[in-house]
């Protein structure tokens, strides 16, 4: 097996075995604590520009299949695991994880001490790194890591948003959906049939496909617009509500997105998830900041301050809303029980709310799926 190396900007180097694609990539090195759902994670546009480490000791044992993709391509720069399974044991699988990464050209490394790597990231914080199955000169790799661009100040949304609008109306047939090929993207494929009673315009900043499925299953007809769309373009569709999607990168550089959201708040009911949550906060006057190592995994405890209930949530974000900058009209509704950061907001004067986590999460948990019904209720009351 060919060798590969991961170098961090602090000079730390991990050498292991290469799997997946052959190449050299840079990105922010972060970690995810989920034990399953690796295919959904690999295809989540929010991971654009990142090299992701999985904390579970073995990844890939149930293979890959067409039903578990969240976008039209694999999105992250690189993938790091302790042990990459060489077999795919699930009867639904259509291939192995290694072959899946290789077909998409995503560089992977296996056989390193991921516990030591994650501990370093937790202590030092997320760092820029370089992963290579071509270059094994550690001095050169460290220098490359130190000069590679980080996430702060980068507009990655423009790299993952669709180019055109699309109706999400065609019947979904999971068994017939082909595995995506590298380079595919653009207009998102539709997921479910039927026209719901409410029309939702989803602003796509890198939206996971399962979000649209949940909107449809809650009784909505969904039109997907690129995240660069103006408020006038959104309102021209006469929506009953607007959804603000997840997406990658630094929210502070997305002025064009914030301007649109600012004009939509108060004009139509708004629901935001992840990046959409941050954009709603910024549109109302708040600021965001970069977390030390982010929240990524399917086991993040969140308390709903309105009901007192605790939800186990799926999360993937490296930035958060700065509570000290919240305007008076934004009320905190959810809070992370690990570090106390804001996980949910609602506008006290306009029909708008948002959460930092993912209520649509596949492969779970599903504690927060009620939020889609809450959006439906908000639209009914407003219209």
Mean pLDDT confidence for 178-196: 37
Mean pLDDT confidence for 294-321: 96
Q: Which of 9, 40, 343, 360 is catalytic?
A: 360
pLDDT at 184: 34
How is the chain split into domains, by residue range? Answer: 3-147, 157-382
Identify the bridge partners of residue 128 per DSSP, sorted by sequence position.
28
Mean pLDDT confidence for 121-141: 96
Portion of the chain with pLDDT greater than 90, in percent: 87
What totals of helices (H) and strands (E) does the chain contain, helices first? 10, 19
Q: In this predicted structure, which of 108-112, 147-151, 263-267 has the lowest mean pLDDT? A: 147-151
Long-range contacts of the stretch 185-190 (C-beta < 8 A, 24+): 185/71, 185/72, 185/73, 185/160, 186/72, 186/162, 187/162, 187/163, 187/224, 188/71, 188/72, 188/162, 188/212, 188/224, 189/72, 190/166
Mean pLDDT confidence for 154-175: 76
274 a catalytic residue: yes
Q: Same topology for domains 3-147 and 157-382, yes or no?
A: no
pLDDT at 365: 87
Mean pLDDT confidence for 161-181: 57
pTM: 0.91
Q: Which of 295, 317, 334, 358 is catalytic?
A: 358
Contact 28, 122 (CB under 8 A): no
- Quote the DSSP letter at residue 188: P
The confidence band for 361, taking pLDDT boundaries of 50, 70 and 90, is: confident
Q: Report the CATH fold assignment for 3-147.
A: Glucose Oxidase; domain 1 (3.50.30)
358 a catalytic residue: yes
pLDDT for 229-243, tens place per residue?
999 999 999 999 999
pLDDT at 381: 92
Average pLDDT, whole number, for the chain? 91
Q: Which of 257, 274, 317, 347 is catalytic?
A: 274
Contact 130, 141 (CB under 8 A): yes
pLDDT at 364: 82
pLDDT for 109-126, tens place per residue?
999 999 999 999 999 999
pLDDT at 140: 97
Cα separation, 66 vs 220, whole angstroms: 25
Mean pLDDT confidence for 124-145: 97
pLDDT at 383: 77
Mean pLDDT confidence for 296-309: 96
- For residue 352, count other CB atoms closer than 10 A to its CB: 27
233 a catalytic residue: no
pLDDT at 253: 97
Q: Report the CATH fold assignment for 157-382.
A: Rossmann fold (3.40.50)
Q: In degrees, to the nearest 5, what angle opens at C-alpha 164 toward C-alphas 210 and 175?
A: 35
The confidence band for 169, taking pLDDT boundaries of 50, 70 and 90, is: low
Q: In this predicted structure, which of 196-200, 221-225, 277-281, 376-380 has the lowest mean pLDDT? A: 196-200
The confidence band for 1, taking pLDDT boundaries of 50, 70 and 90, is: confident
pLDDT at 362: 83
pLDDT at 363: 79
Mean pLDDT confidence for 17-33: 97
Q: In this predicted structure, which of 85-89, 130-134, 258-262, 308-312 has the lowest mean pLDDT? A: 85-89
Contact 68, 88 (CB under 8 A): no
pLDDT at 178: 32
The confidence band for 249, taking pLDDT boundaries of 50, 70 and 90, is: very high
pLDDT at 174: 36
Nearest CA among 353, 302, 355 for reference residue 329: 353
């Amino acid at each position: 097996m060919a060798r590969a190396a991961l170098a961090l900007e602090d000079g730390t180097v991990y050498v292991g075995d290469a799997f997946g694609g052959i190449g050299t990539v840079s990105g922010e090195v972060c970690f995810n604590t989920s034990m399953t759902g690796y295919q959904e994670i690999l295809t989540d546009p929010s991971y654009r520009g990142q090299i992701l480490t999985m904390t579970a000791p073995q990844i890939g044992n149930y293979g890959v299949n067409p039903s578990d993709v969240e976008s039209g391509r694999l999105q992250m720069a690189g993938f790091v695991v302790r042990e990459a399974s060489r077999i795919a044991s699930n009867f639904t699988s259509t291939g192995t994880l290694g072959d899946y990464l290789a077909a998409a050209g995503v560089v992977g490394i296996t056989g390193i001490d991921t516990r030591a790597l994650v501990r370093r990231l937790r202590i030092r914080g997320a760092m820029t790194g370089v992963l290579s199955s071509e270059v094994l000169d550690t001095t050169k790799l460290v220098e490359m890591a130190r000069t590679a661009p980080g996430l702060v100040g980068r507009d990655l949304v423009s790299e993952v948003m669709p180019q055109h609008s699309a109706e999400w109306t065609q019947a979904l047939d999971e068994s017939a959906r082909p595995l995506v090929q590298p380079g595919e993207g653009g207009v998102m494929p539709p997921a479910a049939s039927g026209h719901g009673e409410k029309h939702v315009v989803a602003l796509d900043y890198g939206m996971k496909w399962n979000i649209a499925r949940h909107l449809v299953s809650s009784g909505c007809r969904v039109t997907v617009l690129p995240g660069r769309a103006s408020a006038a373009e959104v309102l021209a569709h006469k929506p009953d509500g607007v959804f603000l999607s997840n997406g990658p990168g630094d929210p502070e550089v997305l002025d064009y997105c914030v301007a649109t959201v600012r004009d939509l708040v108060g004009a139509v009911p708004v629901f935001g998830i992840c990046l959409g949550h941050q954009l709603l906060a910024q549109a109302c006057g708040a600021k965001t900041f970069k977390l030390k190592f982010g929240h990524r995994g399917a086991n993040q405890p969140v308390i709903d301050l309105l009901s007192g209930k605790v939800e186990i949530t799926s999360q993937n974000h490296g930035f958060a809303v700065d509570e000290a900058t919240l305007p008076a009209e934004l009320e905190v509704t959810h809070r992370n029980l690990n570090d106390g950061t804001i996980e949910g907001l609602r506008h006290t004067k306009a029909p708008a709310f948002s959460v930092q986590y993912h209520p649509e999460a596949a492969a779970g948990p599903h504690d927060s799926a009620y939020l889609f019904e809450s959006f439906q209720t908000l639209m009914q009351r407003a219209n």
